Structure 1
Amino acid sequence: MIANLYFGSLEVIKEEYQERVSPYSGEVVSKVALCNEDDAKKALKIAKEASKEAKKTTISQRCSWLLDVAQKLRESKEEMAKTVTDEVGKPITFARVEVDRCIETITLAAETMRTMHGETINTDAMSSGKKTISYFVREPAGVVVAITPFNFPLNLIAHKLAPALVAGNAVVLKPTPEAPLTAYKFAKLFIESKYAIKDALSVVYGDAEVGSALVTSDIPRVVSFTGSVTVGSIIAKSAGIKKVALELGGNAATYIEESADLDLAAARCAIGAFINSGQVCISLQRIYVNAKIYDEFASKMAQESKKLIVGSPYDDETFMGPLINDEACQRAMRWVESAINEGAVPMFAPKVEGRVFYPCVMTDVRDDMAIVCEEVFAPIVSLIKVDSFDEAISKINNSPYGLQFSIFTNDLNLTKRAISELDAGGVVVNDMPTLRFDIQPYGGVKLSGIGREGPRFAIEEMSEIKSVVIC
């Protein structure tokens, strides 16, 4: 129940701890060590020394390390899933899915590293060149700072830790304040593994003070952050000359074209809008529907939304549990009330019980409403009527965000145009934009961030290329 600090492989008992309560029951579910700027600096110094040894280790050892953690996670799956549910209120069924995905992410990172390589260069290919032995190799970047969010408190740590460690780096992890015990238990699996590299992973907790100390230090060579645009902007401005990978906000949208399978579209859109209570950066927020099928689709969307089971996250049948805290609930209701005051119409009355915010489908939404323009991060989706594909593309792209978009259509030409014209890091055809496979490159354009996650792509982000010429 206690999330302690790790200075490298040394677990540290702090004088002060803070309680974390369940967003569903309000009961205390964990206690976390209170850390400060000095803790962050000490962890970085330990990581700097550890990175020298990590670089020397074999790929075989690092891969065995990850695979050992994956096996230990399989053995503790139910305990880890319950910890996720306790701390962030994720329905237990989806918490188990997150553990499974985490295992896959770790395994993928190990398998990917076995085949990562450089290549030879033909230096006599140009008239100014000459014949040499030339090639490049990938080397560890050094120290990686990983800062993670609450909505996927296990798998999004894996997306940073696994590639960073298997590439031969040392890592300082600062997990979300909302799920410290999840991070602690996960990190413990790495640190106590028989294949572990001594002091290669440290864990510190905290908010702005700790985060700033980690980001602004000259020690890390990579900062990998997943979270809000506001914090991401601060990191980008204050990090200095180092690699920065930012996976930030989104305002995911889809277009329902008149040839689409409306039953499929409505069922998938309901899941995409409301899974994890809308607390997903690629949560479906805007649905642009061709005017010819708008009413039919809206009716189907309402029916699918009402089917979703809302309630206790400990019930296996529950699809939606609570939002993360009271502030999130209040903010969500403000979004809805603001839209209603501006003329939008909910398909059924907005409903909140404690921190459980029920699915909300808004119609008669205009493009100038805040509920469409900004990221709501709540179980709220807006239906917007459009007359054509061209109008839909224009409206979807008219956003400062560009993480993932999608289209539902059986028209091949529109499919090809959507792939080409949608301004986003990812495009999905005939499914929700909330679809993500951990093996893929994942990230956005514009305010949605820079860099890509996914084991192969993260390893590239967390390594450096060294060019070699032998004359």
Structure 2
Amino acid sequence: MSEHITLHDTESTIKILSPLDGRLLGSVKAMSQEEVDNEVERAKKAFHEWREVPLSQRAEIMYKAADLLIANTKSLSELLMLEVGKDQKSAESEVTRTADFIRFTADTAKSIHGESIQGDNFSGFSKEKFAMVTREPVGVVLAISPFNYPINLAASKIAPALVSGNTVVFKPATTGSLCGTALANIFLEAGLPEGALTVVTGKGSVIGDYIVTHPDISFINFTGSTEVGLDISKKVHMVPLLMELGGKDAAIVLKDADLPFAAKNIVAGAFSYSGQRCTAVKRILVLNEVADELIRYLKNEIDKLKVGNPLTMPAEVVPLINEKAADFVWELMEDAKAKGAKMIVGGKREGNLIYPTLFDEVTEEMRIAWEEPFGPVLPILRVNTVEEAVALANKSEYGLQSSVFTENITDAFHVASKLEVGTVHINNKTERGPDHFPFLGVKKSGIGTQGIRYSIEAMTRVKATVINLNR
């Protein structure tokens, strides 16, 4: 792969350690505010030329980047495993999915056209007018990605921004910055001009607030915690935001659900990559009359999960990203036990590896009923009516996704219509994708709509040029 963007090994560096075995993987530069200024300035200068590059040429660079991703699948998936603890299958899937995303983004951009609007005799205006409506790039986009999908969720910001004619300043999460740097190198190797994509790395305490409030940033596309997202939204003024934040996604199981099918989907949705996903199933709301039977199926599915270090074995449940994350999940588990929750399975910890844990008889007084664990623990809250399930789901401060399991399509649509979330999945686990579907959260789960076409539209602005025919 290209070495256009290099790692720095000086006294001003941040060491990147593997969550799997603690080995030193490399280091990234702890940039100063002045160095951030330089990268933003490069992107600002490049914007004026990049926006004039024909769309067909920008698309060809995207196709080349996708090809390079596929060519480097092995090395990138190995880096994903080591840096963020993914199992091999998930790591390879992230790389190939990202290549598909970039290709689809290029295809979609070529199909987005402007429009013309005929004038009319409206409030004294002449009919002899028409407007040419085009979409213009917004300028310099700040793309901030999280640790858990450091290639896919970076590309989902970078590719739509670039193909639309914007330039990008990319700030990867510190853990994940080696993967992010590798992705940026691939885009540059594909033919991006100097400055079209720059990378900034460093400590949030030094450059975090500085870069989000930088006067030359025209748009911020952020994926991360609700806490950080709220902080950004308070500090940014008159700059558009597109943010994907936290979730407390509920799986609602009605009395006529196919329980073995529901259990299989819920376990896959809750525990893959140890639940370190914003769209992971994070609570079950089940009708009391089928709760005991569902639990039997859930326990059976959980017992099938492979737990361990993906470097030494195939595993769905892997070590969490760091000890701090594991400590937080453990606190939620201890709180639930202290307040009377019944542990069905799990409750074991080895360092930052927490075994998949299922709690029954969880009540609203327990933290685990409301807080996002970002770990392999799943609470069951029993309800007596569908209305109670909907009310409990909507009581959360989050509104990302929900699932509804039922054999009655009328009930499914009724529940879906009442849920205050961005997406409802009927008879499926909560998940992101397909990538051209809209992806969004309401309440404290986000701002704006992502998804290939939606992201392109978000990172462009409408411009009207009005022509007067009767002079």
Structures share fold, TM-score greater than 0.5: yes
Query: Partner of 2:72 in structure 1?
Result: 76
- Tell me what 2:331 maps to: 334
Is the aligned partner of 1:289 residue 2:286?
A: yes
Q: In 2, Cα distance between the equivalents of 1:227 and 1:66?
A: 25
Contact 1:30 1:87 in 2 (8 A): no
What does residue 230 of structure 1 align with? Answer: 227
* Residue type of the alignment partner of 1:217: H
In structure 2, the residue matched to 1:446 is 443
Aligned match for 1:298, one of 295, 298, 315: 295
CA distance in 1, matches of 2:42, 2:394: 45
- Cα displacement (A) at 1:233: 1.0
Query: 3-state DSSP class of the match of 2:414?
Result: helix
2:39 is matched with 43
Q: Which residue of 1 aligns with 2:176?
A: 179
Distance in 2, matches of 1:435 and 1:316, equals 26
Normalised TM-score (structure 1): 0.96
Q: Is the 8 A contact 1:85 1:92 kept in 2?
A: yes
Contact conserved, 1:428 with 1:435, CA < 8 A, in 2? no
Query: What is the correspondence of 1:456-471 to structure 2 with a 5 Å cutoff?
Result: 456-471=453-468
The match for 1:15 among 10, 21, 26 is 10
> What SS does the aligned partner of 1:321 have?
coil
**1:225 and 1:284 mapped to 2: Cα distance?**
22
Contact persistence 1:93–1:316 (CA under 8 A): no
Paired residue secondary structure (1:424): coil
Does the 8 A contact of 1:252 with 1:434 survive in 2? no
Letter in 2 for 1:42: N
Alignment of 1:165 with 2:131, yes or no, is no
CA separation in 2, counterparts of 1:394 and 1:60? 49
The one-letter code of the counterpart of 2:372 is E
- Between the aligned partners of 2:196 and 2:162, the Cα distance in structure 1 is 8
Higher deviation after alignment, 80-89 or 201-210 = 201-210
Identity percentage of aligned residues: 35
What does 1:126-141 align with in structure 2 at a 5 Å threshold? 126=122, 128-129=124-125, 130-141=127-138
After superposition, the C-alpha distances for 1:20-66 in whole angstroms (9 at most, x for unaligned) are 11101111122212212111111111111111111111001110011
Give the drift of 1:435.
Answer: 4.8
Partner residue in 2 for 1:308: 305
Secondary structure of 1:302's partner?
Answer: helix
Corresponding pairs, count = 465
Say yes or no: does 1:430 pair with 2:427: yes
Which residue of the other structure, out of 45, 60, 63, is the alignment partner of 1:64?
60
Counterparts of 2:119 and 2:182, CA distance in 1: 50
1:330 CA displacement = 1.1
The runs of 4+ residues in structure 1 deviating greater than 6 Å are none
Specify the code of the residue in structure 1 equivalent to 2:430: P
CA-CA distance at 1:190 after TM superposition = 1.0
SS of residue matched to 1:433: coil
Q: Note if 1:239 corresponds to 2:236.
A: yes
Q: Would you say the 8 A contact 1:143–1:222 is kept in 2?
A: yes
The CA deviation string for residues 286-320 of structure 1, in whole angstroms up to 9 with x for no partner, is 10111111100011101101101011213563112
Q: Within 5 A, what are the aligned runs for 1:52-451?
A: 52-124=48-120, 126=122, 128-129=124-125, 130-193=127-190, 195-208=191-204, 209-315=206-312, 317-451=314-448
Aligned amino acid, residue 449 of structure 2: R
Equivalence for 1:28? 24
Q: State the shift of 1:211 in Å.
A: 2.2
Larger CA deviation: 176-185 vs 314-323:
314-323
Higher deviation after alignment, 430-439 or 417-426: 430-439
Residue type of the alignment partner of 2:276: Q
Gaps of 5+ in 1: none
Answer whether contact 1:112 1:456 (CA < 8 A) is retained.
yes
Give 1:253 shift: 0.2
Aligned residue for 1:407, secondary structure, equals: strand
Q: Which amino acid aligns with 2:119?
A: T
1:199 CA displacement = 1.3
SS of equivalent residue, structure 1 residue 347? strand
SS of residue paired to 1:202 = strand
Q: CA RMSD in A?
A: 1.7
Q: Which amino acid aligns with 2:354?
A: F
Q: Report if aligned partners of 1:250, 1:282 keep a CA contact under 8 Å in 2.
A: yes
State the distance in 2 between where 1:349 and 1:192 align: 46
Moved more, 399-408 or 23-32: 23-32
Change (3 A) 1:377 1:407: same
Q: 1:333 to 1:205 in 2, by over 3 A?
A: same
Q: Tell me the amino acid that sits aligned with residue 17 of structure 2.
A: V
* Structure 2: distance between partners of 1:335 and 1:125: 64
Contact 1:401 1:446 in 2 (8 A): yes
By how many angstroms is 1:197 displaced? Answer: 2.5
